[in-house]
Amino acid sequence: MRVAVLSDVHGNSPALDAVLEDLAGRQVDALVCLGDHVSGPMDPAGAATRLMALDGLMIAGNHDRWVLDLSLPGAGAGDRFAREQLDDAQIDWLAGLVGTGWLGDEIFLCHGTPSDDETPWLDNFYEKRTTTLPSEAEVARQAVGIGAAVVLCGHTHIPRTLRLSDGRLIVNPGSVGMQLVRGSPDAHYGIVEKRRNGWQTELIAVPYDTEKAAWLAEENGFPHWREAIRFGWAGP
């Protein structure tokens, strides 16, 4: 069993195209996408079209909630831009997504943590260009009661794989379309595979046409996104 794990596309269709092209060269049995699908200034409608055409299990992230209801605290300009770009069918698709899910009886999907789509899990949230690591106890506390061999999460945009002391695997594949810290502008995704010794993780970084994505953001009125798109460093 091999599962492609995508998250945080954030409306970046050039990055999503590169990931899907890379994925076409690898055999997988299923695909999941962990939310924050469209929010962002690149190409929300194009990203939605591509995701809707995929045979995959998808859940909603905090930005998907905000795109659907711009009056919620936290909703911002990227959410508003996405909302303006989406057609009725794309809004309906987004509205039909739920916040958590199961793939079979071994893999649990969430966006932030199992109980909250705004809480960062495997990394504490970044300030400018840095992050800090939570303790083992903090990580484990969020997994209490989740009877899955594999727990998939996104939200922080930072790829990481770890194993709890009880053997459960937690994987954040990073972000397909919005790189914020640590200087890796490539499109990130992951593959988890059940092998003889247990579940194995592969974290993948795919180069893509960042100039096109930066140009799209600028054209759409978000020139301040250029640096993060081009270089993978957020900040002043």
User: How crowded is residue 44: how many other Cβ atoms within 10 Å of its Cβ?
Assistant: 29
**Residue 105 C-beta: closest distance to Fe ion, Å:** 27
The smaller minimum CB distance to Fe ion, of residues 46 and 173, is found at 173
**What is the full DSSP assignment across 75-99?**
--HHHHHHHHH--HHHHHHHHT--S
Token pair 């600028």 is at which residue? 218
The smaller minimum CB distance to Fe ion, of residues 182 and 194, is found at 182
The smaller minimum CB distance to Fe ion, of residues 17 and 36, is found at 36
**Residue 89 C-beta: closest distance to Fe ion, Å:** 23
Both tokens of residue 12? 């970046």
Provide the β-strand partners of residue 116.
Answer: 113
Tell me the number of residues near Fe ion by CB under 5 A.
2
The smaller minimum CB distance to Fe ion, of residues 181 and 199, is found at 181
**Residue 178 C-beta: closest distance to Fe ion, Å:** 6
Provide the β-strand partners of residue 41.
Answer: none
Interface stretch with Fe ion, choices 4-12, 123-131, 137-145, 166-174 (CB under 5 A): 4-12
> Cα–Cα distance between 63 and 38 in angstroms, integer?
8
The smaller minimum CB distance to Fe ion, of residues 11 and 199, is found at 11
**Residue 144 C-beta: closest distance to Fe ion, Å:** 24
**Residue 85 C-beta: closest distance to Fe ion, Å:** 17
- Contacts of Fe ion in 6-35 (CB under 5 A): 8
Q: Does 64 contact Fe ion by CB under 5 A?
A: no
Output the CA torsion sign for 60, 63, 66, 67.
negative
The smaller minimum CB distance to Fe ion, of residues 142 and 168, is found at 142
**Residue 174 C-beta: closest distance to Fe ion, Å:** 10
Asked if 29 contacts 2 with a C-beta cutoff of 8 angstroms, the reply is: yes
The smaller minimum CB distance to Fe ion, of residues 8 and 123, is found at 8
- Residue nearest to Fe ion according to CB distances in the complex: 36
| Site map 202..221 versus Fe ion, x via CB under 5 A | --------------------
Helix axes 77-85, 44-53, angle to 10 degrees: 60
Q: What are phi and psi of 198, to 5 degrees?
A: 130, -170
- Contacts of Fe ion in 36-55 (CB under 5 A): 36
Q: Say whether 163 sits in a helix, a strand or coil.
A: strand
First-to-last alpha carbon distance for the chain, in angstroms, is 43
Q: For the sheet containing 169-172, what is the strand order? A: 101-103, 107-109, 150-152, 169-172, 160-163
**Residue 12 C-beta: closest distance to Fe ion, Å:** 11
Q: Which residues bind Fe ion (CB under 5 A)?
A: 8, 36
